[in-house]
A = this chain, B = another copy of it.
């Protein structure tokens, strides 16, 4: 077990919401930016943890799409919350599951004593690149930011095990192709504009998930000599309205996973930490519980992580 604990968290949503039937989506409006959301989440997490930025040993931005190509997003967040310090700042990215990957990766540095306490922040504003012609993704995504303070613990709590797999058969099932070296912004035009927007093939992702994830989950549980019923609560990425279907395929009972797709939509990298924060806040997750953080990301990448809270 990599002994870590969550000291505190901060969730920040844009003021503006839109609705698609019963589904509520959060979208930034005039004057709100990705960086502002991320910074506000960090500040809230520090306050909620009752610490100051000087108590943080490393700032990790774990978002899918950044603020700008250079510098990395963590450096821009650093400027707003840690200017004048020399706290290291880096980005870790596996798109929608960046938070789990960052937590997974940084837990080794916490365990080894490199850092005592890290701030991990996930923030995406998908709304800035949604394609109105793709109803499925246009009506699914929300914007949001969530930060967690994670620290080394002396107690028997933390990451029991974690696994990460990428099946690149799904590399083009979720894309934004334009904006960086592949399609530079200079090629932007009325004809090419969709290259710079979200492009998601929900059905093919779901098919790949259903083919691969139950196998991966079975193997993961077996490696840990555990059964599905040993998990008190599953905290999944709020990928889509199909998420409960995947949960069913994994044998996770109703009430044993948190589903907030209707209330919040898919917040890209912010979904997993937001669902975790809500679970802790609403006491769906209690001390001593064993939880599973899991999600699929563009790639197609899937993360699974067992945590004793």
Contact = CB atoms under 8 A, between A and B. Distances in A.
Interface stretch (A3-11, A43-51, A164-172, A287-295): A164-172
A63 to B, nearest CB: 9
Given A70-B95, A94-B90, A168 B75 contact: yes
B186 A75 contact: no
A91 B93 CA distance: 5
A279 interface: no
Residue from A33, A175, A179 with most neighbouring chain B CB atoms (10 Å): A179
A185 interface: yes
Interface stretch (A79-87, A221-229, A237-245, A253-261): A79-87
A12 to B, nearest CB: 15
Nearest to A2: B112
A69 interface: yes
Contacts of A67: 180-182
Interface string A58-84: 110000111111111011101100111
Bin the interface of chain A by size: 35 or more
A75 to B, nearest CB: 4
A298 B70 CA distance: 7
A185 B175 contact: no
A33 B212 CA distance: 31
Contacts of A300: 75
Interface string A83-106: 110111111111100000100010
Given A89-B299, A167-B86, A68 B212 contact: no
A88 B180 contact: no
A111 interface: yes
B68 A165 contact: no
A174 interface: yes
B179 A186 contact: no
Contacts of A75: 94-95, 166, 168, 171, 298-301
Given A67-B180, A166-B87, A95 B79 contact: no
Contacts of A79: 168, 171
A175 B71 contact: yes
Contact of A90 (B33, B164, B184, B196): B164
Pairs A-B, 5 closest by C-beta atoms: A185-B185, A71-B298, A75-B299, A79-B168, A108-B108
